[in-house]
Amino acid sequence: MENKLQLYNTLSGQKELFKPIADGHVGMYVCGPTVYSDVHLGNCRTFISFDMIYRYLLHSGYKVRYVRNITDAGHLEASLAGKSKLDQLEPMEIVQKYTVGFHDIMKMFNNHPPTIEPTATGHIIEQIEITKNILDKGLAYESNGSVYFDVEKYNQQENYGELSGRKIEDLISGTRDLDGQDEKRSPLDFALWKKASPDHIMRWPSPWSSGFPGWHLECTAMSTKYLGETFDIHGGGMDLKFPHHECEVAQGKANNGKQPVNYWLHANMLTLNGQKMSKSTGNTILPMELFTGDNTIMDKAYHPMVVRFFMMQAHYRSILDFSSQALSAAEKGFIKLMSVLKDLDSMKTSSNSSEDVQAIINSFYTAMDDDFNTPILLANLFEAATYLNKVKAGSSTISKDDLEKLSKEMKAFVFDVLGLDMVEEAGSNQLDAAMDIILELRMKARADKDWGTSDLIRDKLTEAGIVVKDGAEGTSWSAN
């Protein structure tokens, strides 16, 4: 397999050539959502980014095991307890509700499901086993029924902070006073197992107490179980880099003495009004609010595919700001690209091509091999689109072979890699038939130079959301 893919590894702070552990196979773990409330659009960006990455790995010929967890009630006892009393719901009912909702949204965004989607609550035993093992290694200690990871002791033999670039001295000096610190030897220590207070609904028996696993342990347990002690790619949102992923590195090394992940990838934040989208601050918009237009931020409703296209126009490691203006610009670009793709099958061919088609195709791969540079890919796709429009207009030519090649690659990159899809209008056979009749009548009127009738038909259709275009090969129409 050709190996040209460069990706930016947070661990090294630079782009590296991607070399999987097992030739032709990739193990990838992505931190999934917490399912105690609706996923907001910012969460979705991360999952869409890694869906694109997953898709390009597949397109590159890799066999990928893609694990993305569901963080269910395991870590959320306290908040779930309060909320479930309020809603009169069982914790697992809340989890179920939001898991289903999450899947629905992911499907609308045309995300592939991961190949394994494990839940934290389904891996309590594995988490207890890792906790035991880290205790045995002397890198954790029990305190009042809870077990904490001993960061300072770990740091004597390893480097706590290697992923996020933090120094343990800075972390200690910058620590704030928080509740419940008295059980810990150091404020940096984090829980592997937490003793449940009496009002916690969900709890599991363990050698130390009736309680629940610590905040960072589930990902270590599930990634190790399904991908091995060291695996290729770990992804997640930038905000998880510290402390969550740092703790995963520490836990993994403490547990089996190996660097758990070769390539750490971090997707950047989606902002709204220049601030990070966040549940706690209320600076969010829900996907459904965006799709239906039922919100105060956007001027109209936007299709999930337009939103996805908008996100693909920015690099996954860049902060992207969400606004009505930016989105409506993206919508027009999306429609333009899609209309060229629709024309591909009816393109006129010549004996030779006026452009170097292979070079155009190569540019798609070069863009994506450079740390999944989707904005460059899209720029190159638009260059291809302009070329094809020239062919359509008769000012450029393309050979039959080249058209087949280009068509195949453009469709592959737009549909398979970027994960975009044609927005199918709610058209029906009846509508098609009716439009055929209407356009035939209009054609007669135009033949008779009865412009009044012809324009009346077109204007009324435009009002009804159907755009009529008179081209060289006849009249076409499209509905919004």
Partner RNA sequence: GGUCGGUUGGCCGAGUGGCUAGGCAGAGGUCUGCAAAACCUCGUACAGCGGUUCGAAUCCGCUACCGACCUCCA
| Helix spans in 151-262 (H) | 151-157, 168-173, 217-227, 246-256
- The count of C-alpha atoms lying within 13 angstroms of the C-alpha of 300, restricted to the half-sphere facing its C-beta, is 9
Of 178 and 464, which CB lies nearer to RNA in the complex structure? 178
Of 231 and 316, which CB lies nearer to RNA in the complex structure? 316
Of 269 and 406, which CB lies nearer to RNA in the complex structure? 269
- Please choose, out of 58-66, 299-307, 402-410, 466-474, the segment that lies near RNA by the rule CB under 7 A: 466-474
Site for RNA in 176-215 (CB under 7 A): 176, 178, 187, 215
Site for RNA in 21-40 (CB under 7 A): 31-34
CB-CB contact of 206 with 128 (8 Å): yes
Give the tokens for residue 386.
Answer: 């302009």
- Do you know the residue count of the chain? 480
CB-CB contact of 468 with 462 (8 Å): yes
As measured in angstroms, the least distance from the Cβ of 165 to RNA is 5
- Residue 395 sits in the site that holds RNA (CB under 7 A): yes
Q: Which residue has the tokens 């033949």?
A: 447
Site for RNA in 283-342 (CB under 7 A): 313-315, 318-321, 323, 325-326, 328-330, 332-333, 336, 339
- Residue 170 sits in the site that holds RNA (CB under 7 A): yes
Of the candidate residues 7, 116, 201, 379, the single one contacting RNA (CB under 7 A)? 379
Give the tokens for residue 139.
Answer: 């890198």
- Residue 165 sits in the site that holds RNA (CB under 7 A): yes
Of the candidate residues 5, 130, 298, 385, the single one contacting RNA (CB under 7 A)? 385
- Residue 477 sits in the site that holds RNA (CB under 7 A): no
Give the tokens for residue 183.
Answer: 């059980």
- Residue 237 sits in the site that holds RNA (CB under 7 A): yes
d(CA 210, CA 222): 21
- Residue 240 sits in the site that holds RNA (CB under 7 A): yes
d(CA 217, CA 247): 8
Site for RNA in 258-287 (CB under 7 A): 267, 269-271, 274-280
Among 218, 210, 204, 251, smallest CA distance to 123 is for 218
Dihedral sign computed on CA atoms, order 80, 83, 86, 88 = negative
Query: What b-and-e string marks burial along 98-113, b requiring 16 or more CB atoms within 10 Å of the CB?
Result: bbebbbebbebbbbee
- Residue 446 sits in the site that holds RNA (CB under 7 A): yes
Site for RNA in 39-78 (CB under 7 A): 42-43, 45-46, 71, 75
As measured in angstroms, the least distance from the Cβ of 257 to RNA is 25
d(CA 282, CA 285): 9
- Residue 456 sits in the site that holds RNA (CB under 7 A): no
Of 172 and 430, which CB lies nearer to RNA in the complex structure? 172
As measured in angstroms, the least distance from the Cβ of 476 to RNA is 8
As measured in angstroms, the least distance from the Cβ of 314 to RNA is 3
- Residue 112 sits in the site that holds RNA (CB under 7 A): no
Give the tokens for residue 329.
Answer: 């610009």
